Structure 1
Amino acid sequence: MAHEDDRRCTRCGIPLSRYNTDPRCAACTRAAGNERAALPSLPEHVWQNPAVTAALADWDFGTAFRLIRQAASLRQEDMSVITGLSQSFLSTLESGTRRLLNIDKIIPVLERLGVPPHVAPIPVPGSAAQNRPQTSGTQPTLLPTPGWESPLDIAKRLNATTSSNTDPATVAVLEQGVTDLVDRYETEGPHRLAPEAVDLRNFIQGRLDGRQPPRQRESLFRLAAQASGLLGYMAVNAGREAVAEAYCKEAEELAKGIADLELIMWIQGTRSLNAYYAGHYDQAVRWADAGLEIDPDHPQAIRLESNGRARALGKLGDRSGAERAIAAAEELSSRHLVPVGLTSCISFKPYGMARTLANAATVHVSLANAPRVLAYADAIDELVEQSDSAWSQALVRLDVATALLAGPRPDVEHAMVLGRQVLEAGGGPPIRSVVQRAGELHAGARSWQDLPAVREYGDALRSWQAAPQTRDLAKSAKMTRPTEQTRGPADAAHSRPGRISSQPSTQHH
């Protein structure tokens, strides 16, 4: 949406939120409401003019407004201020090219004009005495039947019940805002997008503080839960564990309020991710299990099995449990229609097959099963290379590099070359997972620290970690080494022209 950042309040000139579709800020909207109480009253003789009363009785408001202006010696601009209608709209009413028929607009206009009850074509607010029929002489006054509401009271209650501070167009803008954050996330990263996500979340909260019909309110609850969920995921990648959990808790409660079980499963997956990168692998499994208990056959369960259970169980050294979780994720992927390519890591949609297999490779890094790591990496190599995800490219290469250090015949030099190439490419905007795995690769090569290739990678790593955001992430990252079990000979993956091969270049004993 072009130039939305330049929008300002038409009353006071302060900048408006990019999501605010109103022309004025909230303070000026309230001030405008207060000004109505100070509107001038029209002379009494206006309401004694037979032409005025006849026009009002016929609901011919254009003629009535023109006659009222003339009787009170008002300009059209003055009438616009009193009625709250734009001058251009008043002009079309008075010329007869348009008519005022909307009861929601007519009632406040009659109130602002101060039309007496005996002249108004419909009831207007006032005391019981004002609403009685006018009498003359000693004719008895007819009182309304006790206990009945006036038509105006009923109309005002209905208007209050069905009124909304959020129209469908605003909901559509907010939905696009969520989609936009997801689409831009892997290119711009959490540090750049978090302020926009906070702005979106706060604007949605401002809408929730008002009144909406049930369907619009449900949409706002879902949007608020999604915005908090995105902020929780961003906080995980930024190394803010406590903040991530707070956002996830908020998102979960909002999603529960509208019984959005799919979104709750996604949130539990993000909580599992947070616990995983904090090194709390048992808790990561528990959060994933909590999501799977909702619906183990749902497409969201693919992420919970592969990114949640499998990776955490791999870190815990539970080989059979991790492999069962991977198998469950692959079986679910075959039963559901999921994307083949690499989906965005922060997307609310189910995991695509490529991302599931990338997680499987990470699991086998923890299990020190180099052949399986290289096999999975080779299976998704083309999809990863064709994607725009610098993070996925970096993470898969770092997994391959770490796998090359495993087994009885580690290829240290090739591993360090892959690691340096990731650092030289930048790895995308700094996030915790890339920083952590780059550090783990260095820790895994500690046994060969006297080799020039390892020293060169260490120097490149320190230089890469010197950037402020990367340095902060490196401090928060929990560096762990792959478990020392079931090491076997590395199976060579086929190299392809123009790609970084996982084929060992030389064998070191």
Structure 2
Amino acid sequence: MLEHLIQQRDRTYDELAAEFSRLDERATISARHLGRLARGERDAAGMTPATRRALHAMFGMSPEDLLRTWAPDLALALPASNDGPLQMPSFDNGRSIISMAAERARRFALLSAESTTPEAVEHLRDEVQRLALAYPQQPLPDLLGDLSETQDTLFTLLERRQTPQQGRQLVFLASVTSGLLAKASQDMGDPHSAMLQARTAVLCADQADHPGLRAWLRGLQSLVAYWAGRYAEAVRYAEMGTAFATTGGTSVWLPVSAARAYAALGNRDKSLAAIRAAEDAWEHLEPDEMDELGGICTFNKPRTLYYAADALAWLPGEARRAEQYSAQAVEAYADRSDPAWAFGDQAGSHTNLAIARISGGDLDGAEVAVAPVLDLVPQQRISGVVHSVQRVHQTVVRSGLAGAANDLVEQIEDFTHTPLRALPR
């Protein structure tokens, strides 16, 4: 019943878990625990009184009723909630019930068998690919619950006996999922957790003996270090990955990642050389298994333009080239229906264009460039976007134009006061 009510409200486990402390200041619950309650994997026996009160206030039913198996006769008299009256699904919207049943059947099939079937592994691969494709395009809160659940399922299966082939496939998927959670931790402004997830992912990649995966994870570690302001470390991780990046998009991602870290360190020559190496890598790129997953697991040409512009925006005397690359990146990300579209990289392209225009003395053009970024909802204000907007602020101040750009400065400060990490979760 609890799972049915949650689906009726069209809310995520993270969103509902965040409301608990507002309903009862003594009540706390994690999204993962709430998900397990909803799937019937936990009972009401161990609940604290505060949790029981919060559940009753939120859904208008006792915990015992919430954890009963859903049935029409139980749901006929559903109480009104603070989200408005709940209604029984009709035959027209009965797909939600079918989806619930399918998800429950999937988890039962995955976790009840002594050994994992090829069909289960294939299903998990489809799920990991879905998350990889969705990650650059959807707000993180919409994906975080599924990411955590998928990782938990994979780790549970890996703790059981598997055939060597299935074990390698599962550890590969566990590594990718942990890499996605490393990126999620970074986007939430938690580089420590990001590196912890990344190290676990590297351990799994070593067990899977997958060079392309190893290279991709070094790229992720470089990204985490870069946004944490640890630029020398970002260079080190990018260069560590080059030994494994013989093919695939990582052969482009790693040098261009090093380029922007070198630029942040003020090393113009090495930064420009790394940009050239990344552009040259496109000439002999052959897609690998990471590219086949797509989404955040691959590196495309729009991202190359964005990263190169990000590097050039650091370098004095490169404002014109930075503007050229940024403008091309903005144009490349203009089509939201393009599979390569990513809201974070699009935002970074706009902020780089603003920085380049400020460096060239074009304050009006900079305001136009950064305006779409300042319209992003808090759920899309990931750490990298916030840092990029702060760089615009710093560039305005250092240019001596802050007095003429008072309105822009205030907008940026308002924007950065509500990053994604500040939202309840």
How high is the TM-score relative to the length of structure 1? 0.58
- Equivalents in 2 of 1:310, 1:194: separation in Å? 30
Q: Which position in structure 2 is the counterpart of 1:159?
A: none
The offset of 1:330, in angstroms, is 0.7
Indicate how the Cα distance of structure 1 residues 318 and 268 shifts in structure 2: closer, same or farther if over 3 A, else same: same
Q: Which position in structure 2 is the counterpart of 1:467?
A: 418
- Equivalents in 2 of 1:201, 1:241: separation in Å? 19
Structure 1 residue corresponding to 2:203, chosen from 245, 249, 253: 253
The offset of 1:23, in angstroms, is 4.3
Does the alignment pair 1:320 with 2:269? yes
Q: Which position in structure 1 is the counterpart of 2:303?
A: 355
**What are the Cα deviations for residues 323-360 of structure 1, in whole angstroms up to 9, with x where unaligned?**
11111111111222569xxx9996223x2122112111
Structure 1 residue corresponding to 2:364, chosen from 413, 418, 436: 413
Q: Which position in structure 1 is the counterpart of 2:284?
A: 335
Q: Which position in structure 1 is the counterpart of 2:383?
A: 432
Does the alignment pair 1:392 with 2:345? yes
SS in 2 for 1:405: helix
The offset of 1:424, in angstroms, is 2.4
Amino acid at match of 1:21: R
Higher relative contact order, structure no. (Cα contacts within 8 Å, ≥ 6 residues apart): 2
Q: Report 1:237-316 matches (<5 A).
A: 237-295=187-245, 299-306=249-256, 308-316=257-265
CA RMSD after TM alignment: 3.3
Number of residue equivalences: 327
Q: Which position in structure 2 is the counterpart of 1:82?
A: none
- Equivalents in 1 of 2:293, 2:161: separation in Å? 34
- Equivalents in 1 of 2:379, 2:331: separation in Å? 19
Indicate how the Cα distance of structure 1 residues 248 and 16 shifts in structure 2: closer, same or farther if over 3 A, else same: farther
Does the alignment pair 1:445 with 2:393? no
Indicate how the Cα distance of structure 1 residues 20 and 229 shifts in structure 2: closer, same or farther if over 3 A, else same: farther
The offset of 1:455, in angstroms, is 1.2
CA contact (8 A) 1:288 1:309 kept: yes
Q: Which position in structure 1 is the counterpart of 2:46?
A: none
Question: Which is greater in Rg?
Answer: 1
Deviates more, 1:225-234 or 1:459-468: 459-468
Structure 2 residue corresponding to 1:371, chosen from 320, 333, 350: 320
Indicate how the Cα distance of structure 1 residues 310 and 22 shifts in structure 2: closer, same or farther if over 3 A, else same: closer
Indicate how the Cα distance of structure 1 residues 346 and 183 shifts in structure 2: closer, same or farther if over 3 A, else same: closer
CA contact (8 A) 1:449 1:455 kept: yes
Structure 2 residue corresponding to 1:403, chosen from 356, 361, 377: 356
Amino acid at match of 1:314: A
Does the alignment pair 1:188 with 2:138? yes
Deviates more, 1:428-437 or 1:364-373: 428-437
Indicate how the Cα distance of structure 1 residues 16 and 232 shifts in structure 2: closer, same or farther if over 3 A, else same: farther
How high is the TM-score relative to the length of structure 2? 0.69
Q: Report 1:144-223 matches (<5 A).
A: 164-223=114-173
Indicate how the Cα distance of structure 1 residues 282 and 233 shifts in structure 2: closer, same or farther if over 3 A, else same: same
Identity of aligned residues (%): 24
Amino acid at match of 2:326: A
SS in 1 for 2:242: helix
The offset of 1:379, in angstroms, is 3.2
CA contact (8 A) 1:391 1:427 kept: no
- Equivalents in 1 of 2:157, 2:346: separation in Å? 40
**What are the Cα deviations for residues 104-162 of structure 1, in whole angstroms up to 9, with x where unaligned?**
xxxxxxxxxxxxxxxxxxxxxxxxxxxxxxxxxxxxxxxxxxxxxxxxxxxxxxxxxxx
- Equivalents in 1 of 2:108, 2:379: separation in Å? 38
Q: Which position in structure 2 is the counterpart of 1:60?
A: none
Unaligned runs of 5+ in 1: 30-162, 473-509
Indicate how the Cα distance of structure 1 residues 316 and 296 shifts in structure 2: closer, same or farther if over 3 A, else same: farther
The offset of 1:25, in angstroms, is 9.9
CA contact (8 A) 1:164 1:211 kept: yes
- Equivalents in 2 of 1:173, 1:185: separation in Å? 18
